[in-house]
Structure 1
Amino acid sequence: MRSVKIYPEAWPLHTPFVIARGSRTETGVVVVELEQDGVKGIGEATPYPRYGESEASVLAQIASLQSQLEEGMSREALQLALPAGAARNAIDSALWHLAAQQRGEDLWQMTQQLAPKQMITAQTISIDMPEAMASSALALWQNGARLLKIKMDDHFITERLMAIRAAVPEATLIVDANESWHGEGLAARCQLLADLGIAMLEQPLPADQDEALANFIHPLPICADESCHTRESLPALRGRYEMINIKLDKTGGLTEALALADAAQAAGFGLMLGCMLCTSRAIRAALPLATRATWADLDGPTWLAVDAEPALRFTSGVLHLTPASAAG
């Protein structure tokens, strides 16, 4: 028999995180601990209101499977028992971690991936006035970040982007609108981004307005985030997006995320690996996908005032990996 613990945690941020949907000063996560024969696995997920999730709803979903988890529920059975989302991710991540600990391996070994010594991750610039965003970009660049992800809403787009590009002319910039733009005027905005050397645009339109991207000629890649959750999302994305952003909280864990990555690459999509605001536990669970992605956006823990231990080591724009940190 396994023992099962389920509990919420709140992690304050050191700086407000502002996107098109609003501002946050802390992130709430749900944690699952599974222990069997003295070996423990732990998984973490971030409930996301955009997808109809709350801390209470995710806790209830997980609790509904407690007896099955105690009796040895497998990852395969879990895929059928819960829909994709944060609850399934917390359990799936705990099951992967438990299996790795039982084998004496890490997730890289279990998924037959070679762990790099370090990887570049995007550093996010949250929404503010143009001068403040430019100042943030410059500070990150001066500290070593080379890939910057710029959050945008529907205001001051030209002013913000021009100020940031002027501040960091050599940085690689990607823009995330979080569904806040509209089909009208999108072509001109895409051209502006291309003229400023923006490398990619993420989820400009609401997910239910993707049809506006069909046969839409654009001068830079567009990446699906809110529009892509699992393999079932892919058929509707063809001809509309060039890339997809994989997040374990959307796929419902690494099990589906690996399958999604395989299917997406087979269909010709490029990959981005993303995260919610989270601790190092959640990032560690996603790492086996990182080497397959064109861009990794794994800076969630860098927004926390204090990270969960054992914490991954980040410097500005770089995630440093050792065998111990990769294994957790």
Structure 2
Amino acid sequence: MARVISVEAERFPIAGTFTISRGSKTEAEVITCTIRENGHVGRGECVPYKRYGETMDGVRDAIEAMRERIAGGMDRTALLSAMAGGAARNAVDCALWDLEAKISGIPVADAMHSAPLSSLETAYTLSLAEPEAMAAQARANAMRPLLKVKIGGDNDMARIRAVTEAAPQGRIILDANEGWTDENIEANLAFAAQHGIALVEQPLPAGHDEILRRIAHPVPICADESVHETKDLGSLVGLYDAVNIKLDKTGGLTEALVLRDRARDLGFGIMVGCMVGTSLAMAPAVLLAQGADFVDLDGPLLLARDRQPGLVYKGSLVSPPDRVLWG
């Protein structure tokens, strides 16, 4: 029996507003790919990202263009060469992983040959705002062990001071989303180090970060927008100390596993992150993130409504996915 593929655009409201240096949004817009075969169903979710030239319609069309090949039995290996990396391939790849697990009865976790799964401590993201408002966000979440703080404006030192004073016990990641410049990065890094920041994520625009090779790194620096697939890693050696792996950038779990292992071989620290999506998007990333140095899979915590059933979060601990959800 041939496979049947469906592609659906869905929207999930965000609890409040999610703001980074490039703008704000109030809902998560996702594309869900569902592949059915002989009574078995596999699903994958992706989040089209404007920064990478993606749109909801464009991602849907890219998946639709693969309809005949997917229906004809295309596997994940063939998918890597048939589709470019990015959100569209992620949805299809994760749906194929899920479908394979449902057909074989072998959980994805076992197919990956990973050690027994454990719950993970995820960062919780604070949106970019004025220092006083960010301090209030930090104070309200001061019990969480790891906070990810969106910065990238003209007043970042005040923001850093505000959140570290409001949440003095937690570890803090700063995410500038390419919002710093060659002129302020050294002072900002030094100030971050003085305030005990654990990691600084993508301080400079991708492709305009050569200064990172010449300046001190008093706080480890993590690539995000600068790294998508395994082929990107070579150029980042000497610039960054860690890489943020996101399935919507790698184009799925298949490539993400290769990227993770190669990054480790090259000496990079590993962060596994996400776009703002539902538990369906986070589920494969939880498997990828086992053993990572930093985990940022809080997408469902930022939503007013998640899928049901979803991942189980207890505070900042996220449990591995139930197979009813994915895998």
Cα RMSD (Å): 1.3
Bigger drift between 284-293 and 190-199 goes to 284-293
Match of 2:208, SS?
helix
Matches for 1:55-204 after TM superposition, within 5 Å? 55-142=56-143, 145-204=144-203
Of residues 122-131 and 285-294 in structure 1, the stretch that sits farther from structure 2 once superposed is 285-294
**TM-score, normalised relative to structure 1:** 0.96
Paired AA for residue 76 in structure 2: R
- State the one-letter code of the partner of 2:60: L
Give the Cα separation in 1 of the matches to 2:324 and 2:240: 34
TM-score, length-scaled by structure 2: 0.97
From the superposition, tell whether residues 102 and 254 of structure 1 become closer, same or farther in structure 2 (CA, over 3 Å). Answer: same
Shift of 1:236: 0.9
- Separation in 2, partners of 1:59, 1:322: 26
Identity %: 42
The one-letter code sitting in structure 2 at the alignment partner of 1:112 is H
How far apart in 1 are the matches of 2:115 and 2:326?
Answer: 13
Partner of 2:6: 5
The residue aligned with 2:227 is 228
Q: What is the CA deviation profile of residues 155-212 of structure 1, one whole-angstrom value per residue up to 9, with x for unaligned ones? A: 2211111111111111100100000110112111100000000001000000020212
Distance of 1:190 and 1:173 partners within structure 2: 13
Residue in 1 that maps onto 2:267: 268
Q: Distance in 2 between matches of 1:216 and 1:236?
A: 17
Residue 321 of structure 1, CA deviation: 3.5
- Cα distance in 1 for partners of 2:52, 2:121 equals 28
Distance 1:6 1:204 in 2: 35
More helix by share: 1
Check the 8 A contact 2:174/2:197 in 1, yes or no: yes
Deviation at 1:274, TM superposition (A): 0.2
* CA–CA separation in structure 1 for the residues paired with 2:321 and 2:248: 25
2:286–2:297 CA contact under 8 A, matched in 1: no
Aligned to 1:214: 213
1:326 Cα shift? 7.4
Q: 2 CA distance for matches of 1:41 and 1:267?
A: 34
Residues 195-245 of structure 1, C-alpha deviation per residue, up to 9 Å, x if partnerless? 000001000000020212122212110000000000111111010000000
Corresponding residue of 1:308? 307
Taking structure 1 as reference, are residues 21 and 296 closer, same or farther at Cα in structure 2, changes over 3 Å only?
same
**TM superposition shift of 1:39:** 0.4
Report deviation, 1:117: 4.0
Which runs of no fewer than 5 residues in structure 2 stay unpaired?
none
Q: 2: CA distance between counterparts of 1:327 and 1:45?
A: 14
The CA distance in 1 between the partners of 2:325 and 2:60, in whole Å, is 27
**CA distance in 2 between partners of 1:260 and 1:231 (Å):** 5
Q: Equivalents in 2 of 1:323, 1:63: separation in Å? A: 29
Secondary structure of the structure 2 residue equivalent to 1:208: coil
Instruction: Give, in whole Å, the separation in 2 of the partners of 1:3 and 1:216.
Output: 53
Q: For the residues of structure 2 that align with 1:312 and 1:238, how far apart are their CA atoms? A: 35
Kept in 2: contact 1:215–1:239 (CA 8 A): no
> Unpaired segments of 5 or more residues in structure 1?
none
Q: Counterpart amino acid of 1:239?
A: G
Q: Secondary structure at the match of 2:19?
A: strand
The answer to whether the 8 Å contact 1:221/1:243 transfers is yes
Q: Equivalents in 2 of 1:318, 1:133: separation in Å?
A: 23
Partner AA of 1:229 in structure 2: H
Q: Which residue of 1 aligns with 2:29?
A: 28
**Cα 1:69/1:5, change in 2 over 3 Å:** same
Q: Judging changes above 3 Å, is the alpha-carbon distance between structure 1 residues 47 and 115 closer, same or farther for their aligned structure 2 residues?
A: farther
Q: Deviation per CA, 1:30-81, whole angstroms, max 9, x where unpaired?
A: 1110011100000000000000000011011100010111111110111011
Aligned equivalents of 1:170, 1:287: Cα separation in 2: 25
Question: How much has 1:323 moved relative to structure 2?
Answer: 5.0
Q: Is the 8 A contact 1:271 1:295 kept in 2?
A: yes
* 4+ aligned runs moved over 2 Å, structure 1: 114-117, 320-328
